[in-house]
Structure formats: structure tokens, C-alpha cells
A and B are shown apart, each in its own frame.
Chain A
Amino acid sequence: MSQTIHIRTASQENRIRPLPSSQKNHRIFTPGEEVIKAAHTNFVRGHGTYEDDGDLKASVAGVKEQVNKLISVRPLKSRYNGQVGEVLVGRISEVQQKKWKVETNSRLDSLLQLSSVNLPGGELRRRSIEDQHMMRQYLQEGDLISAEVQSVFTDGTLSLHTRSLRYGKLGQGILVKVLPLLIKKCKIHFHNLPFGVSLILGNNGYVFIGPPINDKEGNEGGFVQNLEEVVPKETREAMARVRNCILALAKNFRMLFDTSIVFAYEESLKYNVHELLLPEAMVDVAVLTQQRLSMLENYESH
């Protein structure tokens, strides 16, 4: 029996609307609003603010953040603002001389220098002219990579590196794009989930879902892709479920981190994978996940 086709009427009930998950009230600043009066001159201007007659005013809509004297206002949505050390997932958009351009949902295309990747055969090998000619064989347009931000140039361009065995070219899997703000900042962004799925939560809002990573395989600087291998059905199903769960959480503006995804996965088991595309199932999964997360929080705080 094939899956049913759903055509429903648009009504207020079946639209997804964000449900609050925290009762905390934050003061929201909107563009042009005064953040600090001229009388308190002891501050440093941060992102999302500007000075006008000595007053500090907000230039975006968001909440105020203060680190010592640095005052900034962070908008909810924006292009990814990379910081050194953050893990991200990107797609090669152009192969240039000695560098690749990478699309990372940032304001400007990011750069991956030939000198910041591990080439096969020795970590500290000199980069020769041959390597420059071989660049497209390592990474070509369209390839997905995981990388770390090495530095940020003055114009805002991110420079990436993949000099670790964890980073490099990504194999078979699914890329899901969510808002960068939904990725919880954690120490670990690479996860092997208990149901046989590996997950990379890129800080830039790109999430990569892949089959479980086998540590035994020798990693040749991460430039090998096995296109022959067929991902077994169970793994495929788990990956599709994780994909739909991530989208369900993201549609409801829930934070994405390993625990929330595992909970969502477990709560979603009462649905078939394709049923998770329906808005009411998405809301249901998000709400149940939230309940379990707050129970966990209460338990930990006692």
C-alpha cells in the first residue's frame, strides 16, 4: 500500500507556531532604541550597536549581551559570524590557485588554503606544484567538508583548516540547513548517536547526517569517498528519521544538540518516518522532546 497524499486546508490550527520553552523574560531591543545613556560613558561598543551623540543604540532586534564593558545586541537570525575554533560544515564553491572557496552561510565565501589541509602521505609534507595541479582531485566543486575556523580576516572572510583527522571531505549522507542560532554551542560537535547514525552539528547551521563512522578505517587525510558502498536499510531509516526530527525541532525553533536529537528520535518512534513530514507530527515531537528536556533539567538541578 502506498503512502497517502495529504492535501489539507490552511487554517490557523495546523500552522506551526513557536511555543515557549522558557519562562525567562528578556528585554528586547529594536533598531534605534537606546541601550545605554550618554551618562554612563564606560562601555565598549560591540556588534549590533552604534554610537549616536554618545548614546549607545541598538541597530538590530535582539537581546543585550554584556561581557565586562563590551556591550552588544545579538539578532536572532543573521548570516553566520564565524569565530576562531568553531566547527562548521561547508560546500566547496570554487577551486582556485592554492585555495578553495567554501560556501558556509557566511557573509563572504570562506577560504580553505591548500596549506591548511592534510594531504595524503605525511602531515607536514611540503606543498608542491603537483599538489596545486591535483587540487580538484582532492576536493572539487560541490564537495561537502567539515572544517574548523582558523582565522578571521579583517573584511570578515573566514579562513578554514582541516588539519585534524576528524575534519575533511564528507561521504554519503544528508545535509540539513537550519538557522545558525539553533545550534547549541558545545565542546563536541561530532556525535555518534546510539541508533547508528553519525552527526556533525556545524556552528554555521549546516548539519550533516551520515552513517556511523568506523574508527578502524585508515583515514587518508579525509579525501577518500566510498561511492560503491550501499548504506544498509536500517541505517538509512535511522538517518532519515534523524533528518526529519532535526527539521521538526528546527521548525519549532528548538535548540539542536545531542540530547535533544536523541530525545526527539525516541519520541518520534510512534510515527513512521514519512509521517514526520506532517506539521502536527512535527509539533508533537517537538513538544514531547521539550517535556523530557525540562524533566532532565529539573532532575539535574535537584
Chain B
Amino acid sequence: MSLCEAEKTFILHGVAENFRVDGRDREGYRPIELETDIVQHAFGSARLRLASTDILASVKIEIDTPLPEKPFEGKIEFFVDCSANATPDFEGRGGEQLAIELANILTSAYSAPQTLDLRELCILKGEKCWKLYVDILVLECGGNLYDAISLAVKAALFNTQVPKINNMTIDGENVDIDVSENLLDCRRLNVKHAPILVTVCKIGEHCIVDPSLEEEQCMMSSVVVAVSNNHFSTITSMGSLHEETLFECLNLGHKVAVRLNQTLIETLEKMPQNQDVGFLK
């Protein structure tokens, strides 16, 4: 799908007027629907719908050995899969490049120690730690993938239950870990500062957030910022930007990320338990 000049002009003028095609202002965000605990095999999961963008995120936990240079820390790994259900272009290995790009930006956003305290995941110094596998499945694309994915990941991490360890026996080289069998006997991760990605698009002379598919085609350049507790943990820009515009983008991104984060946490905290919605309704 490619837009014609006239449609692009219409979008451009709309952004300049601060009245976008669907009536939103430049900072406006489309309504989001969120659901957690949707994958039974996982330790934590979430499904997020932003307009027609549909993301499924799941967290699996395994026991691993910490890196020698970081003996006190656990590990986290991101994997994104763009399902062909979203668009036939993703068939086979078609979605791989986008998937790697998305996984990389998440990795770098979570790499700062202040975002997610990986020391929480340490079991035994230098010997054993928990490894979080965060797997993201893109089921439908309706624009603004970066933001949607980061929100889904944060929700899934919030939902994650890390098993408790009853006791450990160390016998020379071997470490025996006795993981609590009780499913209720778990602890949650502290994800308060987990970063949120916001894509800021420059269309014409102005910047917008949450671009739709059509708006993504009109953008000249974009900046993806990861904001965690009022700090930027990653900034990636695509296309050329003036320094002033860049700061304008960063400001906007920061402002929106703080509001998004607040709303997300509020929603997660009052998330009803054991609902059975999923894809059926």
C-alpha cells in the first residue's frame, strides 16, 4: 500500500493544524486494550491491541549460569517473531529483519541496570541465575509497533511470577536447586522502571506520536526513545534531523512516555484476575 501525493498532503496539513485524520491531536494516542495471563505455558504473558496492532508477549524462565563478568546478575533475552498472519510479506523469513530490529531496540532499552534490576534474578553468585526469555509475537500490524511491543513486554513482565527457591545444596561443582512446587508461592518482578518506547514521527514541520499505518508513510524521520523513570535509556533516530527538532522530539517522547507509563501501571494494578477473554470474544 502506498499513498498518493494528495493523501499525503492531506495528512501533512492535518498534522500542521494539530488535527489529524482521525481527530487526534499531535500527542493523541489511540485506545489500547490489554489483557494479561493469556499463555498458560508461560510464567507471565500479555496481549495488547492498539487499534489493529496486535501483540502477544510471553515470559519464560529457565535456570542458567551468569556471565563471568556479571556474577550477581540474571539474564534477559528478547525474541520477536513477525507472524505471517499479520501480512503475507512476513512469510518465511520476510519478517526477520524487522523482528531483529525490534528485538535489538528492546535489548538496548533494557540494558541499563536501572531499568530492570537483574540482580533480583541471581540465585547463587557466579553459579546459577534465572534467565528470562521474553518472546513477542506480532499478530497484526496497524502501525506503531515499537510502542505497542514495549507496552506488551512491560505488562508481561509485570505479570511474571518468578518461582521461589526453597533451598540449595552445594556439592562441590554441582548445585542442586529445590524450586518450590507451589504455584502460588512466587514473587513478582519489580517493573516500575521498565522502559517504555515511544516513536516520535516528524511529519512536515511537526512531531506526532502513535502514527497510524498511513501516517508512517508520510514521515520524513522518526526517533524512538525508551524512557525509564524520567531518564532515557535508548534513543534511536531514523532519517536526518536537525538538532533542535531532535530535542523537540525527545521532549515530546518523554512527555508522552511518562503519561503512558502512568496509565499502564494504573491499568495493570487493577487488572482483574482469571478472566477468560483471549481471542474468543
Interface residues of A (CB under 8 A from B): 2-3, 5-12, 14-15, 17, 91, 140-144, 170-175, 225, 227, 230-231, 233, 236-237, 240-241, 243-244, 272-274, 276-279
Do residues A277 and B281 form an inter-chain contact, with CB atoms below 8 A? no
B 39-71 to A, binary, CB cutoff 8 A, 1 in contact else 0: 000000001010100000000000000000000
Distance between A255 CB and nearest chain B CB, rounded to angstroms: 22
Which single residue of chain A is at the shortest CB-CB distance from B9? A227
Q: Which of B4-29 contact A (CB under 8 A)?
A: 4-7, 9-10, 13-14, 17, 19-25, 27-29
Do residues A236 and B19 form an inter-chain contact, with CB atoms below 8 A? yes
Q: How far is the CA of A144 from the CA of B264 in the complex (A)?
A: 39
B167: CB under 8 A from chain A?
no
- Which residues on the A side are within 8 Å of B51 (C-beta)? 277
- Which residues on the B side are within 8 Å of A5 (C-beta)? 29, 32, 256, 259-260, 263
Question: Given contacts A141-B2, A174-B7, A175-B7, are A279 and B31 in contact (CB under 8 A)?
Answer: yes
Looking at the complex, which one of B1, B4, B9, B267 makes contact with A9 (CB distance below 8 Å)?
Answer: B267
Distance between B90 CB and nearest chain A CB, rounded to angstroms: 20
Question: Given contacts A2-B28, A241-B23, are A10 and B10 in contact (CB under 8 A)?
Answer: no
Do residues A3 and B7 form an inter-chain contact, with CB atoms below 8 A? no
Q: How far is the CA of A103 from the CA of B9 in the complex (A)?
A: 21
Distance between B54 CB and nearest chain A CB, rounded to angstroms: 11
Given contacts A7-B266, A8-B32, A172-B10, 18 further A-B contacts (CB under 8 A): A3-B24, A3-B29, A5-B263, A7-B34, A8-B31, A8-B33, A9-B271, A10-B281, A14-B33, A174-B21, A230-B13, A240-B19, A240-B22, A244-B23, A273-B22, A273-B23, A274-B23, A277-B30
Do residues A172 and B19 form an inter-chain contact, with CB atoms below 8 A? no
Looking at the complex, which one of B19, B22, B151 makes contact with A244 (CB distance below 8 Å)?
Answer: B22
Which single residue of chain B is at the shortest CB-CB distance from A273? B23
* Number of residue pairs A-B, CB distance < 8 angstroms: 127
Looking at the complex, which one of B14, B28, B267, B272 makes contact with A274 (CB distance below 8 Å)?
Answer: B28
Do residues A227 and B5 form an inter-chain contact, with CB atoms below 8 A? yes
Interface residues of B (CB under 8 A from A): 1-7, 9-10, 13-14, 17, 19-25, 27-35, 47, 49, 51, 151, 256, 259-260, 263-264, 266-267, 270-272, 275, 277, 281
Do residues A6 and B32 form an inter-chain contact, with CB atoms below 8 A? yes
Do residues A174 and B10 form an inter-chain contact, with CB atoms below 8 A? yes
Question: Given contacts A174-B21, A240-B22, A241-B23, are A7 and B264 in contact (CB under 8 A)?
Answer: yes
CB<8 Å pairs between A and B, sample of 24: A3-B24, A3-B27, A5-B29, A6-B32, A8-B267, A10-B33, A10-B47, A10-B277, A11-B277, A141-B2, A171-B6, A172-B10, A174-B21, A227-B5, A236-B14, A236-B17, A241-B23, A243-B22, A244-B22, A274-B22, A274-B25, A274-B28, A277-B24, A278-B31
Q: How far is the CA of A91 from the CA of B30 in the complex (A)?
A: 27
Distance between A237 CB and nearest chain B CB, rounded to angstroms: 7
- Which residues on the A side are within 8 Å of B266 (C-beta)? 7
Do residues B4 and A143 form an inter-chain contact, with CB atoms below 8 A? yes
- Which residues on the B side are within 8 Å of A91 (C-beta)? 1, 4
Q: How far is the CA of A7 from the CA of B150 in the complex (A)?
A: 14
**Which 7 pairs across A and B sit closest by C-beta, in order of nearness?**
A273-B23, A10-B35, A274-B23, A172-B10, A6-B31, A142-B2, A240-B23
Distance between A137 CB and nearest chain B CB, rounded to angstroms: 13
Residue of B9, B47, B272, B275 contacting most chain A CB atoms (<10 Å): B9
Question: Given contacts A172-B10, A274-B22, A274-B24, are A7 and B5 in contact (CB under 8 A)?
Answer: no
